[in-house]
Amino acid sequence: MIELDDVVVGYGGRTLFDGMSMSLPQGSFHFLTGPSGAGKTTLLRMVSMELRPSSGRVRVLDEDVGRLDRDGIARMRRRIGVVHQDSRFIDHMTVAENVRLPATVAGQSEATADAHLAELLGWVGLGDQAAQHPPELSGGERQRAALARAVILSPDVVLADEPTGNVDWDMSLRILDLLIQLNRLGKTILCATHDLNLIRQAKSRVTSRVLRLKGGRVEQAGIDL
Amino acid sequence: MRRPSFLSTDPTAARVVPATGFTAALTIVSSAATAFLAVFAIALSLAAGDLATRWETELAGTATVRLPAADEGQDVQVATILEALKQTPGIGTAHRLDDGEQAALLAPWFGTDLPLDSLRLPILIEVTEIGDGPDVEGLNLRLEAEAPGAVYDNHGRWRAPLAEAAGWLRKLGTVSLILIAGVMAVTIALAASAALAANGQVIDVLRLVGARDAWITRAFVQRFTLRAAAGAGAGTLIGMIALLLMPGGAETGILAGLGLSGVEWLWPLVIPPAAALLAYAATRAAAARRLGSAP
Ligand SMILES: Nc1ncnc2c1ncn2[C@@H]1O[C@H](COP(=O)(O)OP(=O)(O)O)[C@@H](O)[C@H]1O
Ligand SMILES: [Mg+2]
C-alpha cells in the first residue's frame, strides 16, 4: 500500500507538487510516466523516505513514514526495494557482496543470503560478474545489480526508477519478467519508465495501470497507449 | 555487562569500510607517529621527575660546619663544636673530614698531587640533619660564642633555586605528556572525521539498503579502533626500541636520565590501548555527526 495525501514538495522555492494525492493498493502493479522533469524521481524518493514532503502525509505499508525515527526508517527500507536511476554501490566490495548488502545489514547469516544470491545473480544475468567490482560494470549491468540488490530481501514494495533505461530489449524483458514474478507474489510494484513498448508488453501479461505525472498531478492514463 | 561494541567481531560489518586508501594510511601513520612521540614524552616526564628528586634529596639533610684555618688550638675547637652539635636537636651525625677526604673533595678542581700541608685549608665537619634540622640561627650564635669563626651552613642558598628548578622540570614533564595526549586525541579525531567524510558514499548506500545507525557506527568504529591500536602499537614499539638503543652513561649529559628502567618500561604499554579508546570515542562522535546528515 502506497498513499500520498495532499503532499507539497518544492525545490528551492519552486513548487513541484502542490497538494498531490494518490493511493496504490497492496499487490498492485503501476507504471509511472510523464515528461522528463515531471517529478517521477521525486515521487519515488518520497516513498523510499529519501525526501520528506514539506507538508502532507506519506503512508507506506500502513506506516505513516513521516512519524518514523531513524531506526524505523532503516527497518522500513528493508521492506521497500529501490532501484535508483543512478544506483550507487560500495565500490571496494564485489558485486555479490553489494547485492547481498541488504541481507548483511539486516543481520542475516551469509549462508541464508547466499542461497538466494546465486540464483538472483543468474536471473539478472550477472552470474559471471559476481566477483567483479561495481566500477567495472557497464551502465546496464549496474542497473541489473541494483535490481538484484533491491529484491534480495523479498520486499513488499519495489520501486524502480527507469530500470530498463540502459539495457537492451532482451534484458528489459527479463527485468520486466522479474517484476511481474514479484508482483504475482503479492508485492506492490511502482516503476517509472519512458518505455512504452515495455508498458505494452507488461499489459499483455499482468494487470497493470499507468499513472501519468503532468503539471504536478497524477492522472490515470488510458489503456490505449 | 554489555561487551563494548568495538570488541564484538562482525567481519562483514568492518568490511564495508575500505581497508586501504588515503584515510586508512592517515589513521595508522598519525597514531603511530603520536605514539612514538608519547613514548618520549613519558620518558622525559619520568626522567624529569627522577632528576628533580635527585636535586632535592642530594643536598637536603646535609650540612657543613666550616672552621677557618688557625695555627693552634684547632683540635679543642673541633671538640667543642662536635659537643655543641651533639647537644643540638635536629642533628644526626657529625664527623670531621680527615686530610684524605678533603683531598678527595678538592681533587676535581686541583688535581691529586695537592700539597695539603702547605695550604691553610679550613676544617670541615660534615653533618647530617634529622627531621626539619636544627635551629640554624641559634646554633650559629652558640658556635660564635664557643668556637669563634665556625659557621654552620645547610646549603640553603644552593638548595632553594635547585628545588625551584626541580619543580619546574616536573611540571615540564607533565605538561609535555598532556600536550602529546592532546595532540594524539586531536589527530585521531581528525583522521576519523576525514575517513568518514571520504566514505560518505558508503554511508549513504548503507542507509539506503536499511542499515541502522548503530550498525554503520559499529562498522567504522571497529575498523578505526583496530587501525589506531595497530598504528599506536607500532609507534610505541619503535619508540621503545629507540630509547633502548640510545647511548647511555654519564657522558651523554642531559640525556643520561632519559632512559626507562625496570617497571618504567610498562608505562609506554598504556599508549596503544589509550589510542584505541581515543579512536573509539572519536569515531563514534564523528559517525554521529555524519549520520545526522545521511538521508
Ligand atoms: N535535488 C534537487 N534540487 C533541485 N531541483 C531538483 C532536485 N531534484 C529534482 N529537481 C527538479 O525537480 C523537477 C523534477 O525532477 P525529477 O523528480 O527528477 O523528475 P523526473 O524524474 O520525472 O525526470 C525537475 O525540474 C528537477 O530539475
Ligand atoms: Mg527521474
Spatial distance between the Cα atoms of A118 and A116, rounded to a whole number of angstroms: 6
Cα–Cα distance list, B14 to A93, B6, B111, B215, B276 (Å): 12, 10, 71, 10, 16
Q: Which B residues, 143 through 202, put their C-beta within 8 Å of a C-beta on chain A?
A: 201-202
Lowest-confidence segment of B43-52, B115-124, B132-141, B255-264 by average pLDDT: B255-264
Position A92 confidence tier, pLDDT thresholds 50, 70, 90: very high
Percent of chain A at pLDDT > 70 equals: 98
CATH number for the domain spanning B144: value is 3.30.70.100
Co-location of B210 and B96 in the same domain: no
When divided into structural domains, chain B yields a total of 2
Co-location of B20 and B93 in the same domain: no
pLDDT at B158 over 80: no
Co-location of B221 and B250 in the same domain: yes
From first CA to last CA, the distance across chain A in angstroms is 25
Spatial distance between the Cα atoms of A149 and A99, rounded to a whole number of angstroms: 4
Residue B59 has what pLDDT? 67
Torsion of CA A120, A126, A130, A133, to 10 degrees: -130
Co-location of B107 and B178 in the same domain: no
The reply to whether residue A70 touches residue B201, judged by beta carbons under 8 angstroms, is no
User: Which amino acid, B94?
Assistant: A
Final residue of a structural domain among B120, B153, B186: B153
**B215 close to A (CB below 8 A):** yes
pLDDT at A119 over 80: yes
Spatial distance between the Cα atoms of B6 and B9, rounded to a whole number of angstroms: 8
Spatial distance between the Cα atoms of A37 and A93, rounded to a whole number of angstroms: 33
Task: List the domain range (segments joined by +) for residue B138.
Answer: 62-153
Cα A43 to averaged position of ligand 1 atoms, centre (Å) = 10
Co-location of B280 and B170 in the same domain: yes
- Best substitution site from A8, A14, A16 to test ligand 1's pocket, by max atoms within 8 Å of Cβ? A16
- What does the angle CA A106 – CA B287 – CA B279 come to, to the nearest 5 degrees? 110
Co-location of B27 and B114 in the same domain: no
pLDDT at B247 over 90: no
Q: What is the 3-state secondary structure (H, E, C) of B267-279?
A: HHHHHHHHHHHHH
Residue B256 has what pLDDT? 55
Co-location of B181 and B38 in the same domain: yes
Co-location of B172 and B282 in the same domain: yes
A99 to chain B: closest CA residue: B209
pLDDT at A46 over 50: yes
Final residue of a structural domain among B94, B125, B153: B153
Pick B4 or B165 by higher pLDDT. B165
What is the model's pTM?
0.75
CATH, domain range A2-88+156-221: 3.40.50.300
The interface pTM score, or ipTM, of the predicted complex is: 0.91
User: Which amino acid, B126?
Assistant: E
Lowest-confidence segment of A44-48, A108-112, A181-185, A192-196 by average pLDDT: A108-112
Co-location of B173 and B233 in the same domain: yes
Please tell me the residue having the least CA distance from ligand 1 atom 5: A11
Co-location of B30 and B71 in the same domain: no
Query: What is the pairing mode between strands A55-60 and A157-161?
Result: unpaired
Residue B295 has what pLDDT? 66
Cα–Cα distance list, B113 to B69, B100, B102, B121, B134 (Å): 21, 12, 13, 15, 37
pLDDT at B111 over 90: no
CB distance A39 to ligand 1 below 6 Å? yes
Final residue of a structural domain among B119, B153, B187: B153
Residue B230 C-alpha cell reads as 595497530
Please tell me the residue having the least CA distance from ligand 1 atom 6: A11
Give the ligand with the smallest distance to the CA of A45. Answer: 1
Spatial distance between the Cα atoms of A21 and A8, rounded to a whole number of angstroms: 10
Residue B251 has what pLDDT? 46
Co-location of B103 and B45 in the same domain: no
Residue B202 C-alpha cell reads as 558508503
Give the ligand with the smallest distance to the CA of A216. Answer: 1
Co-location of B19 and B88 in the same domain: no
